Amino acid sequence: MAFRKIDIDALEEDAFGEDEIDFQEIGELRPLADVEAQVNSRAQEVRSLLQRGNTSGALSTSLQNPPYGAPFHAAKARNTQTVMEVLNSIKVADVPQLVKSLSPEEQDVLMKYLYAGMAAPEQNNSGHLLAWHEKLTEVAGQGCIVRVITDRRTV
Amino acid sequence: MSDSPIVNEFNQGPISCHAFNGDRTELAVCFNTNVVSIFRKSGAGWTQTSTLAEHDKPVTSVDWAPKSNRIVTCSQDRNAYVWTLDGASHQWKPTLVLLRINRAATFVRWSPEEDKFAVASGSRCISVCYFEEDNDWWVGKHIKKPIRSTVLSLDWHPNNVLLAAGCADMKARVFSAFIKGIDKKPAPSPWGEKLPFNTVCGEFSNGAGGWIHGVAFSPSGESLAFTGHDSTITVVSPGTGDIQSIRAPYLPYLSVIWLNENQIVAAGHDCAPHLFELKGQQWAFSASLDAAVKKADVGFTARDTFRRMDSRAQSATSTDTEVHTHHQNTINSIRPFSGTPGHVEQFSTSGIDGKLIIWNANSISRGLGNLHL
């Protein structure tokens, strides 16, 4: 219908808009200060776990409670950085076993961060992230990747 | 009954929807066109007997009432027709149903008693249609609130009143479609007691969002299974309050049925039916019901290989492009074929590859029977 000039769906009063969808999927947003505080404290906790050599604990902690929500750009970037630190400090040989020990929710969150990391190849080692991606797909399957694409809660 | 699936290839294009009649001697299929073709079983194959041509746009869904032998079709042209077989002429006569929707109809199903049918549409509503004797026509009542987007699939509860709907607003809901004058008050169920029309008896979502492509009540009606585009199947049992979401490591499923109270079969973009089972209290993925196609079926002689290469304009052989399942493309519909609702023995699947395959559920259960406690 290329000859039609009116976008009839834009004129609809009761449209199911982005805001409503995000509210349905993410819920009430926490205050910005709370979210940033949580992300910062998590970064410190993860760093200390890494220094003590507890890589599985660090990985698991970094994947808890991601800052979902449209206004939290800085917090998301900070949290992605934290996760990248953990991923970079783990040897490729250890990856398969660590990935298997994650819960299904953590695996889905990890896949989200892998794609977030690969989206910024200047900052992150894409080759290393691809190795993680391969091992995670072996365990969690294509369904995990589909969930990254469908889920409105982005990291 | 053979163990291997019965493959029916029509070579008329992708199948958008299919429905068998009550004794499975006739089949209504739509090949993504404006018409529905009726086939009759003859020997091992199917011969076309008639064509239901009344819609102006592609037919999106068809359902065949087993007892009253009426067919209902709905289409992108915002209409639905009820087709009755004229005894004398053996022709199917259409009756227009006024759905009063301003977007395409997407899905239609007869109720268990076949006195009503529900049509899902892109108008963000469900038309529940019943026959009004006084005016001698089909009338539709709308279920609108709180649906926010296109309704993609429907399933009726065995009590003929409750209706489950999967929707593009990422919610699966259970509504009451009680019509005064047609329905008697239903027995209290875990879904609710007083149920006037359009009551929302439950609203559920999967873990990671995604359109809800398929919904199915369990044979007893106590539980609801639904599958979404986030490759998740959720089973809800309001009686016990139990909600379980299974994150599948596969591509999303588009359609789902219950074989019995403990087994669910789902099929979709992975081109094979997958079995989910209840072990103890936990639902989990069990197995794909499609063992890889044997090489012999694909044609392994040098002549076959080069003929295949020719037809695909390839310069080198590559076995990667063959999908090693019976269906070569997405399965978009799965329906019980034989057995009772509480114990389905065979089910049929149709897909975009234009094939209609009838699977034997018993052989799979027997094979996996060893895994049960």
Task: Check if the beta carbon of residue B196 is closer than 8 Å to that of residue B176.
Answer: yes
* Structure confidence at residue B312 (pLDDT): 62
For the domain that residue A71 is a member of, what is the CATH number? 1.25.40.190
For the segment A125-135, what is each residue's pLDDT rounded down to a tens digit?
A: 999 999 999 99
A150 close contact with B: CB closer than 8 A: yes
Helix, strand, or coil here: A83?
helix
* Of the partner residues B209, B229, B249, the one whose CB lies closest to the CB of residue A25: B209
Which residues in chain A have Cβ-Cβ distances shorter than 8 Å to B229?
A: 146, 150
> Going by C-beta distance under 8 Å and a sequence separation of 6 or more, which residues neighbour residue A88?
A125, A128
C-alpha pair distances (Å), A92 with each of A103, A128, A136? 20, 8, 12
For the segment B92-142, what is each residue's pLDDT rounded down to a tens digit?
A: 999 999 999 999 999 999 999 999 999 999 999 999 999 998 988 999 999
Residue among A12, A144, A146 with most chain B CBs within 10 A, to mutate:
A146
Q: Half-sphere exposure of B15 toward its Cβ, with a 13 Å CA cutoff?
A: 29
Q: Is residue A9 part of a domain?
A: no
Task: Check if the beta carbon of residue B266 is closer than 8 Å to that of residue B253.
Answer: yes
> Going by C-beta distance under 8 Å and a sequence separation of 6 or more, which residues neighbour residue B323?
B271, B329
**The domain containing residue A139 runs over which residues?**
27-150
3-state secondary structure A105-144: HHHHHHHHHHHHHHCCCCCCCHHHHHHHHHHHHHHHHHHH
Q: How many angstroms separate the CA of residue A66 from the nearest CA in chain B?
A: 14
Residue among A109, A147, A154, A155 with most chain B CBs within 10 A, to mutate:
A147
Record the tokens describing residue B177, joined without a space. Answer: 């479609």
Band (A120; pLDDT cuts 50, 70, 90): very high
Contact A146 B251 (CB under 8 A): yes
> Going by C-beta distance under 8 Å and a sequence separation of 6 or more, which residues neighbour residue B261?
B218, B219, B220, B223, B278, B342
Residue B345 CB coordination number (10 Å): 17
* pLDDT mean for each 10 residues of chain B (373 residues): 82 96 96 97 94 97 97 97 94 95 96 97 96 92 94 96 96 96 91 92 91 97 96 96 95 97 96 95 92 52 68 60 86 96 95 95 58 45
ipTM of the complex: 0.90
Contact A142 B250 (CB under 8 A): yes
For the segment B299-318, what is each residue's pLDDT rounded down to a tens digit?
A: 456 776 676 666 666 665 55
* Structure confidence at residue B372 (pLDDT): 44
- Give the pTM: 0.90
Q: What is the DSSP letter of B78?
A: S
Please tell me the distance from the alpha carbon of residue B221 to that of residue B237, in angstroms, as a whole number. 9
Which residues in chain A have Cβ-Cβ distances shorter than 8 Å to B228?
A: 150
Number of domains into which chain A is organized = 1
Please tell me the distance from the alpha carbon of residue B36 to that of residue B323, in angstroms, as a whole number. 28
Answer whether CATH 2.130.10.10 is correct for domain B6-364: yes
Which residues in chain B have Cβ-Cβ distances shorter than 8 Å to A16?
A: 148-149, 169
Write out residues 39-68 of A within 8 Å (CB-CB) of B.
Answer: none
